[in-house]
Structures are given as structure tokens and as C-alpha cells.
Amino acid sequence: MRQSFAVGIGGAAGQGVATPGDIFAKIFSRRGLHLNAYNAYQSIIRGGHTFLTVRTGPDPITNMGDRLDLLIPLNQDTVDRHLGLLGSGAACLYNADSIHPGTPAEGVQLCPIPVSKLADITKNKVAQNTLAMGAALSMMGVGFPALESALAEQFRKKEQAVIDENVSVARAGYDYATANFKPFAWPLPMTENHYAVLSGNAALAMGGAAAGVKFYCAYPMSPSTGVLHWMAEHARKAGIMVRQVEDEIGVINMAIGAAQAGVRSMCATSGGGFALMSEGLGLSAQAEIPVVVIDCQRAGPSTGVPTKTEQGDLWQMLGAAFGDYPRIIAAPLDIGDCFTLIPEIFNLADRFQCPAIVLCDLLLSEGRLSVDPKDLNFQPHIDRGELITSNGMDTHEEYKRYLITESGVSPRAIPGLPGYTHTVSSDEHDENGVLISDEYTNVTKRRAMMEKRMRKVAGIESAVPAPELIGPRDADVTLIGWGSTYGVIEEARELLQDQGISSNQLQIRWLVPLHGDAIVEILKGSKHTIIVENNYSGQFARYLRSETSFVPDGYIRKYDGEPFMPHHIVEAVKEQLAGNTNLSVPVHEIMV
């Protein structure tokens, strides 16, 4: 079982929950520790409840975990909701002036901080936050200079007096905890490792920059807005033109226009915005213009629960736009993979001149993860496919933009190149791009062009690797997941192993093409199969069945807006192996 330490900070939106979280993350990563952070919040500007979990440890931390070691409630509501999550050995640091924690579980240390005695709260509105950070780090066995340095960076744009005041308040909390509270049994270790801390949205944007994106546009929509923020902040340095567009219809069409001009073009949205992009996506397919669209899934339908996570958009992606056309859909496995996947999918979109969709979700988009910078390849292989960028000095045969080829891929010329004149539109066309549907439809040319485009499907499938089984082949149970459930299933498997249940894992990264034959070949040797996903209807289970006729033995589904915790999967597996049910819907015990 991996060693970890989890801090939960809760309060009302606007009470300053994010700042302690950022500082803890910075200090943990500088000690060479892995971390995973997830912020559960409401869709209002001020008020409501926000609960940030930061989990750290020397081993990879892939999810929020099952328990809290330290609770820092910034208001009474937080302690009322979450005190019950603490078990023996855990602690609760709270403002003794305003919070009354009640009776905790046996072995939980209650740590009241006399905030009004230690700080001038009339001058410093967030004194309780800073005092709690100092006290927490003392109890974790972290030296004060780490916090002093982090505070100086946090307030570097303000006057020195502001930095000095916050350091003084933090010191008071640190010293008070040293004198009055029992330190944690497991001091936070330090390693020689060096990690960066990335959000999924930042990783997606950085992946785009590494892939050579030169045009990015979006309409702000949570949880994808962070991609736009990163792009706008780094646009000049990265040489990327960034535009905020009036709506998602404009976004997709502007992105396709930029791609037609020859640059790599990307946009991001959420499910509601993607719905508006659907017709534009068809234009990309018909005109064979490669474009990458990121969908950061949130709980729907419609406005739904806009600040909560879900894997509910798969079938929207599968059915986006009308008609038959080649497409590529992939789901990143974790935040590091958000970076890695973008160059890969751009290469495929360019090679096969078709739309490509990255199916992310709020859990990854807004979550944070420690990433080894050495794992981020900022100079990935770039394959623009059959892109003609220069006419050179040689003569050539008559250029046909939609030349009928065996692979289905036709050479794509940058508009404006002498000798490569062609027509592009959303209508069906012949090899030259001349429309065939205005006065009469040429059925022979329509059939030939349709078959040309669809021949790309075989090429895409050959270019994409099939999923591989992780773990022992003869395991008691096979857990099948897709996208962001990767890390939590992985940890659940470790917990199952500790309880004498062996398991393996089949995680699907490439959803289209699916490699159905390879998946069935793997699963037909499994003793018991369970599909784990974050939606109500089992969208992947239905998709897998429609493509392969494979029906698993059981399902674990969660659709309350919050991600899986490892014990949810462990308990469901045990329940299903005992034969009590074949559908488990875990109850989320953290009420946010």
C-alpha cells in the first residue's frame, strides 16, 4: 500500500481556499514528493462550499484517495460536513474563536487555534488560513523556511510589508502548534526528486504548443477555460495566435479556417459548447481539413452541474455531425497524458486529414498532478502528413485536391501556392473540389469520394496501438476503464491485492478506432470482467457491446458529479465477486 498524506481545506467560495492549497502543493513538490489535488466547488462566484484535497507522498499519487489526515475547516459548515472523514491519527486545525467541531472519532486530534490572540484579524482577513498553514507544516515536520519562501513568492507582487506580515502570522501559527499540538507520527519526507505541478488544462495547452499549434480559439466555458487562459498568457512567447470568439459555432469554423490556411489549429470547450460545434465538425470532415477539438466533460445535460465531473459525452462524440466520416477520438489517462496525447493526435489528424477529438473531463482539466519534467517531450515528432507547402521549381501533374488514392488520403496544398489551385466547400465534390450536388448529383463520383474518405479508417486503425492488459493474466477480476479512471482503478487494484483478490486492468485510451478484436481477445481469457465509468448509462459498456458484442460480468458507475475514490471500486468488486449484484453505484461520502 502506497504511503500518502492528505490535507483537506474547506470553506465558502471567496474565503481563500485556493491559496493554502497552492502553497501546500508548492512545498510538497519542492520536497520531491508526488501530489494530486482536486477541488470540489459550487457554480457560484461567492458563497457555497469549496473543498480542496491535496494528497502527497513519495510514491506516485494518482487520485484523491480514501481518507484525510488533516482537515482545515475555514468555517463551521466545513467541519460539520467533513469531520467524520477523519480517523485515528488524523487531526483537525480550526479557528477556536468561531468553529465548534463537535465530537470526532476516537484517536482524532482536535487542534484549536486562538486566531484573535495570535494575529490582528482586523487587518488580516485571512489570518486563520495563514496560521493554519504554519501550524500544519509544524505538525508535518516541515521546517519553517519552506513556508517563508513560499509566502514570499505568493505575495511577491505586493509590498514587502505584506510579505513580512504574512510570514509573521505564519510563524505564530507554526510556533503555537509546536508548543501545543502533537506532531503527526509520519513526518513528511524529502526526496531528491524534482517535480512540476500541472493542471490538466495547462498540460493540454502546453501539449498544443509542443505540437506546433499556431492558432487557438475558444469561447470560455468551464472546465475548459483554463486552456484558453494558458494560451492567452503564453501566446506571444509561444508564437500562437489566440482568439476569444463570440460562440462555439464561430470557434470551430474559425479553427477550421486557420487549419485550411496550413497551420495546426486547436480549440477546447465542454459538452454544451461541443453540441454547437457539431455541424462545423462535419465541415472539417467533408473538406478534409484536420482540426483538433478538446471536450472537457462536465456533468450534463444542458447547463447541468457545470462544476462537476462526468464521463457523459462519449456518445455525443461518436455521433457528432451527420453522415459517415472518419474521425479520431482519444481520452487522456492522466494529467501528464493530457500533454503527451496532443502531439500524437495532431499527427494523426494531419496524416489522415480528418477531425480529431480529445475527450478530457473536469477531474483532469482542473485537477493538479506532480509531473517529472523529463517525461514531457517539448520537441515531439511532428508529422504533417501529405502537406504541400512549396511548389518548388519542378513542374507537376494537374493538382487534384481530392485525388482518389488507395489510402484515401489526398495531397493537401496550402492555399495560394502557384499551380495548386483548388476549390474547398462543405458540399460533396469531385477530385478537383468541384461541387457535384448543385444541379444534379453524380452518383458515381459521390460513391467514389465517399469510399475514398472512408478508406482512411483502416489507415488510422493501423496507426493507433491496441490497448494492453496491465497486471497478471490469470487474475480474479479484470477492471475495464477509459480515460481518467486510470489512476483510481490502479490504486484500487493494490488495495484488492492486500485483501487477497488479484486483479488486472484494461484501460482504453483510443476510443475511435477502438481495436475491438484485440480487446475481445484479451477479455475472453478473463475470469470476471467489470467496466468502471463515471456516467449513469454505461456509455462505454454500450459502445463496446455495439462494436464487439462483448458483455461484461458487471458494472461500476458513478454519476453524482464527483470522481471515484479507491475504496468505492474495492467495495464494489467484492460485492460483485460475492454474487450480490452486477451493478454497483458507490455513494460519495464527501458532501460538496
Q: Same domain for 17 and 154?
A: yes
Q: Same domain for 176 and 202?
A: no
Q: Same domain for 158 and 226?
A: no
Residue 456 located in a structural domain = no
Helix, strand and coil percent figures for the chain, each rounded to 5: 40, 20, 40
Residue 229's domain comprises 197-375
For residues 61 and 36, give the distance between their C-alpha atoms in angstroms, rounded to a whole number.
6
Distance of CA 163 to the CA centre of its chain: 34
328-330 vs 510-512, strand pairing mode: antiparallel
Characterise 272 by phi-psi region: left (phi > 0), alpha (psi -120 to 50), beta (else).
alpha
Q: Same domain for 10 and 158?
A: yes
For residues 38 and 175, give the distance between their C-alpha atoms in angstroms, rounded to a whole number.
29
Tens of pLDDT, residue by residue, the chain (592 residues): 678 999 999 999 888 898 999 999 999 999 999 999 999 988 877 778 999 999 999 999 999 999 999 999 999 999 999 999 999 999 999 999 999 999 999 999 999 999 999 998 777 778 999 999 999 999 999 999 999 999 999 888 888 998 999 999 999 999 999 999 999 998 999 999 999 999 999 999 999 999 999 999 999 999 999 999 999 999 999 999 999 999 999 999 999 999 999 999 999 999 999 999 999 999 999 999 999 999 999 999 999 999 999 999 999 999 999 999 999 999 999 999 999 999 999 999 999 999 999 999 999 999 999 999 999 999 999 999 999 998 766 677 899 999 999 999 999 999 999 999 999 999 999 999 999 987 678 999 999 999 999 999 999 999 999 999 999 999 999 999 999 999 999 999 999 999 999 999 999 999 999 999 999 999 999 999 999 999 999 999 999 999 999 999 999 999 999 999 999 999 999 999 999 999 999 998 776 7
Residue 212 located in a structural domain = yes
Domain boundary among 155, 180, 205: 180
For residues 388 and 73, give the distance between their C-alpha atoms in angstroms, rounded to a whole number.
60
Residue 453 located in a structural domain = no
Instruction: Give CA separation, 471 vs 65, 490, 507, in Å.
Output: 21, 10, 12
Q: Same domain for 232 and 366?
A: yes
Residue 186 located in a structural domain = no
> For 288-404, where are the alpha helices, taking DSSP H only?
314-319, 335-352, 362-366
Residue 590 located in a structural domain = no
Q: Which residues are registered as beta bridge partners of 270?
A: none
| Omega before 223 within 30 of 0, i.e. cis | yes
Radius of gyration of the chain (CA): 26
**Residue 564 cell numbers, joined:** 471515484
Domain boundary among 152, 180, 208: 180
pLDDT for 203: 98
* Residue with the three cell numbers 526526496: 191
Distance of CA 547 to the CA centre of its chain: 26
Residue 150 located in a structural domain = yes
For residues 543 and 550, give the distance between their C-alpha atoms in angstroms, rounded to a whole number.
10
pLDDT for 123: 75
pLDDT for 395: 72
**Residue 396 cell numbers, joined:** 507537376
CB atoms within 10 A of CB 303: 10
Residues 6+ apart with CB under 8 A from 236: none
Residue 266 located in a structural domain = yes
pLDDT for 391: 74
Q: Same domain for 215 and 171?
A: no
Domain boundary among 357, 375, 393: 375
Helices 335-352 and 456-463: crossing angle in degrees, nearest 10, is 150
Q: Same domain for 335 and 205?
A: yes
CA atoms within 13 A on the CB side of 121: 14
At 15, which CATH number?
Answer: 3.40.920.10
Q: How many domains is the chain built from?
A: 3
At 553, which CATH number?
Answer: 3.40.50.920
For residues 308 and 363, give the distance between their C-alpha atoms in angstroms, rounded to a whole number.
8
Asked if 20 and 9 touch (Cβ cutoff 8 Å), the reply is: yes
Asked if 140 and 89 touch (Cβ cutoff 8 Å), the reply is: no
Instruction: Give CA separation, 122 vs 75, 114, 159, in Å.
Output: 17, 14, 19
For residues 153 and 523, give the distance between their C-alpha atoms in angstroms, rounded to a whole number.
51
Q: Same domain for 162 and 212?
A: no
**Residue 581 cell numbers, joined:** 449484484
Q: Same domain for 251 and 164?
A: no
Q: Which residues are registered as beta bridge partners of 55?
A: 6, 36
For residues 247 and 39, give the distance between their C-alpha atoms in angstroms, rounded to a whole number.
27
**Residue 177 cell numbers, joined:** 502548534
Characterise 515 by phi-psi region: left (phi > 0), alpha (psi -120 to 50), beta (else).
left
For residues 68 and 82, give the distance between their C-alpha atoms in angstroms, rounded to a whole number.
9
Helices 200-211 and 225-238: crossing angle in degrees, nearest 10, is 40
In degrees, to the nearest 5, what angle opens at C-alpha 296 toward C-alphas 293 and 299? 140
Strand ranges of the sheet holding 583-584, from the earlier edge strand across to the other edge: 469-470, 503-508, 477-482, 529-533, 554-557, 583-584
Asked if 506 and 479 touch (Cβ cutoff 8 Å), the reply is: yes
What pTM was estimated for this model as a whole? 0.96
* Residue with the three cell numbers 467533408: 286
* Residue with the three cell numbers 495547462: 202
- Transcribe 35-88 into DSSP letters: EEEEEE--SSSSEEEEEEEEEEESS---S--S-EEEEEESSHHHHHHHGGGEEE
Q: Same domain for 122 and 238?
A: no
Structural element, H or E, at residue 24: helix 18-30
pLDDT for 393: 60
**Residue 590 cell numbers, joined:** 464527501
Asked if 126 and 162 touch (Cβ cutoff 8 Å), the reply is: no
Q: Same domain for 140 and 219?
A: no
Residue 439 located in a structural domain = no
Q: Same domain for 135 and 163?
A: yes
